[in-house]
Amino acid sequence: MSRHNRLQFILLALILIFIPGLTRGQGVEYVNSTLWTTVSDIQIVGNYAYCVFRDGLVILDISNPTNPTLLSQFYLQGNGEGIFVQDNFTFLVNGYSGLQIIDISDPEAPELIGTYDTPGFAKDIFVKDNYAYVADGNAGLTIINITDPTKPNFFGNHPTRYAKGLHIEDHILYLVDHNHGLKIFDISDPASPRLIGSCDTPGYAEDIYIHDGLAYIADGALGLQIITIEQPREPLIIGSYNTPGYSRDIAISGDYAFLASDICGLEIIDISSPSSPVYITQYNTPNQAIGVVIKDSIAYVTGKHFGLEIVNITEPGNPEHTGSYETPHSSRGVFIQGHFAYVANYGNGLKILDITNPENPMVVGCYDTPGYSHDVFVLGDFAYIADYEHGLQIIDISNPTNPIFKGCYNTPGYAIDVVVRGGYAYVADYDHNVQIIDISNPESPYYVTTFVIPNYTAGIYIRDNLLYVAYSAFNTGIQWAGISIADITDPTNPVCIGDFNTVGYFYDLFISEDNIVYCSFTYKENLGPLHYGLKIIDVNNPESPSELGTYYITGEQYPKGIFVSGEHAFLASGFNRLEVIDISSPSNPELEAYYNTPGYAYDVFVDDGYIYVADESSVLILRLAQTKINSEITLTPKAFKLLQNYPNPFNNATTLNFSLPKPGQIKLSVYNLLGQQVATLFEGTMDTGEHNITWNTNDLPSGVYLARLQSNSINQNIKMLMLK
């Protein structure tokens, strides 16, 4: 490496170290994850497909392509991007986590044996001899010595604009450099790669395939570019085809090029005459196509939110579906009740997880709503889903393994958030204010009234008889954020009693027990950088809310969900990040811990010391590291609620769990179907928090019983089934 390049590399490495979000998380531990989605890359070796998910490595048995089966799933923190399989090892590049080396000698039990944190954002990899060549994003080409796979170490680097993909033939390395096209290097000396040729393409070069002296470039919005490389020092474009889609990956088989082209799926082009390629057809994948490889006249197409699509291309003009490995959609919202996590899974509606053991979550039920589920609120036997263009969907979850449709109300706007209280659902309807729906009969919900806010509704929260609405608006070119506070003592006539305004954009909000509002927000001053974080507002006097403090970081993040527990606010910070903020002093909030998530973090819910993150790529279950912060965590419930008893059905005893958002007088009692009270389990004062009481049924007969939790004017009931 030249002295100039070495200085560039050292400077780049130092800069990247101090960029927030590019280092691994600290203070937060991984427990498990589920609902994995989005396959970035794939390599076929024998009867196995090695798939790079955002969350890690998945190995499928494809000996029967019509029915691929899961062999193993191995979590790796980072953003799964690219893969290279050689002998008994998988070399996986994982975005901000760099290179990870996995022993796959037993495909059913992969084992991580080595890592190297590259200075950039690792996008692609090619292994030759004892070296791993990494297209390392903004760090360019990074070369790692893997002679000992358990101890990979830095060997060389050549800065480029933004390295995305690469391929090696003999001692020549071909690298696509995004908006700088093709770069060609001589790697005869791996410690000092030499740039010997380049060819700028008209689009944004995403990936490359070398075949018969030609480089085929997936060139983003400009489709396919074909470059002669017979003279590596003088590469030249000799043909192109501007495809309808955005080309992300490419594979060649015979006289045909196969492009993974985003929303256009798999696009097939005849390249028998490279100077005059001809568009043949396209194969529509379930969602955005990201990657493609070909083996034995079968195309394996990976993508966003659909996993793996297997396509027979024996007749390229007539591609046919052969099989698939289906994955869920992105997780947008999460709500915990009892032993279950309820997940708003965007294009797949509702997913229900059994989290009795958070270290082994299991999918036990699902219901596909007609729209795109953005959030979920659970109360008693029903899940209420904000289903975007299909408004409010009500799902009966009395049997979590078999959720069934109960009722719906199609709101006029786009439902993005929902809260339920006292027989009414309050729906944040984006461009149509807050819609208040009577759900006393879940089978026939009906419109009651609208609470009008200044502009776009972002999130809602209810405490006591007050509705808090976060909104954003544009006025004379300035973006304004605000909170409207309404008295909903009479839900049919909500009355605005207070308002708070600031510059910026609000996304979600949470009200703590001491009447402090925490809003996730972004703010950008003129042409300056974007700031994101928390806006903290005192609403003890709801008629005159006042700002207490602000926590923000400069960065291109768009935070979404927020949850407050004890002295900590948990912020789903958008791209690849969960942040834990110390709010023991609301006027001086400070970052205390964080975790780099695999995708876009949309929502967060804290329950019993576990942190559930609805991420674009999965549902993550985390917990705070075993430090002072972990011992201090306490749960502040979102609402007064009586959870379903467990077990149910039961024999002689069952446990009832309930939560109180504030201390007060409560009564927990049990009735038979004749309305006769058969047991009083508790009557008196209880503190804020989660509580559980066990009911020993003694000599009562089998049958259906009602448990009722009462506090002031609030009553909640659940049905329980005793079988002896």
- Residue 698, CB half-sphere, CA atoms under 13 Å: how many? 3
Q: Are 623 and 612 in contact (CB under 8 A)?
A: no
Say if residue 661 is in the same domain as residue 597.
no
Q: Are 72 and 107 in contact (CB under 8 A)?
A: yes
Report pLDDT for 688. Answer: 81
Say if residue 571 is in the same domain as residue 686.
no
* Distance of alpha carbon 372 from alpha carbon 331, whole angstroms: 11
From residue 29, alpha-carbon distances to 17, 179, 481 in Å are: 21, 38, 34
Report pLDDT for 691. Answer: 84
> With a cut of 50, which residues of the chain have pLDDT below it?
1-24, 627-635
Last residue of a domain, one of 244, 259, 274: 259
Say if residue 437 is in the same domain as residue 485.
yes
Say if residue 602 is in the same domain as residue 645.
no
Say if residue 605 is in the same domain as residue 653.
no
Domain assignment of residue 308, yes or no: no
Q: Cβ atoms within 10 A of the Cβ of 634, count?
A: 14
3-state secondary structure string across 176-236:
ECECCCEEEEECCCCCCCEEEEEECCCCCECEEEEECCEEEEECECCCEEEEECCCCCCCE
Domain assignment of residue 433, yes or no: yes
Report pLDDT for 656. Answer: 86
DSSP secondary structure string for all residues of 80-104: --EEEEETTEEEEE-BTT-EEEEE-
Report pLDDT for 689. Answer: 78
* Distance of alpha carbon 715 from alpha carbon 712, whole angstroms: 8
Say if residue 703 is in the same domain as residue 556.
no
E strand or H helix at 17: helix 3-17
Say if residue 660 is in the same domain as residue 690.
yes
CATH value at residue 687: 2.60.40.1930
Tokens for 652?
């002689």
CATH value at residue 241: 2.130.10.10
* Distance of alpha carbon 551 from alpha carbon 568, whole angstroms: 13
- Type of residue numbered 51: C
Collapsing DSSP to helix, strand or coil, 563 comes out as: strand
Say if residue 420 is in the same domain as residue 563.
yes
Domain assignment of residue 300, yes or no: no
Q: What are φ and ψ of residue 389, in 5° steps? A: -70, -10
Q: Are 81 and 99 in contact (CB under 8 A)?
A: no
Say if residue 395 is in the same domain as residue 509.
yes
Domain assignment of residue 310, yes or no: no
* 8-state DSSP, 721: E
Q: What range does the domain containing 112 cover?
A: 3-25+36-259
703's CB contacts (< 8 A; 6+ apart) are 672, 673, 721, 722
Domain assignment of residue 73, yes or no: yes
* 8-state DSSP, 432: G
Last residue of a domain, one of 229, 259, 289: 259
Last residue of a domain, one of 632, 658, 676: 632
Tokens for 722?
């005793």
Say if residue 614 is in the same domain as residue 521.
yes
Domain assignment of residue 309, yes or no: no
* Distance of alpha carbon 545 from alpha carbon 563, whole angstroms: 20
* Distance of alpha carbon 280 from alpha carbon 284, whole angstroms: 14
Report pLDDT for 628. Answer: 40
* Distance of alpha carbon 547 from alpha carbon 711, whole angstroms: 32
Domain assignment of residue 575, yes or no: yes
Domain assignment of residue 146, yes or no: yes
Q: Are 551 and 563 in contact (CB under 8 A)?
A: no
3-state secondary structure string across 105-152:
CCCCCCEEEEEECCCCCECEEEEECCEEEEECECCCEEEEECCCCCCC
Summary mean pLDDT of the chain: 91
Place of tokens 């790692």: 144
Report pLDDT for 243. Answer: 96
**Cross-strand pairs, 708:** 669, 717
Say if residue 566 is in the same domain as residue 715.
no
Say if residue 660 is in the same domain as residue 556.
no
Q: How many domains does the chain have?
A: 3
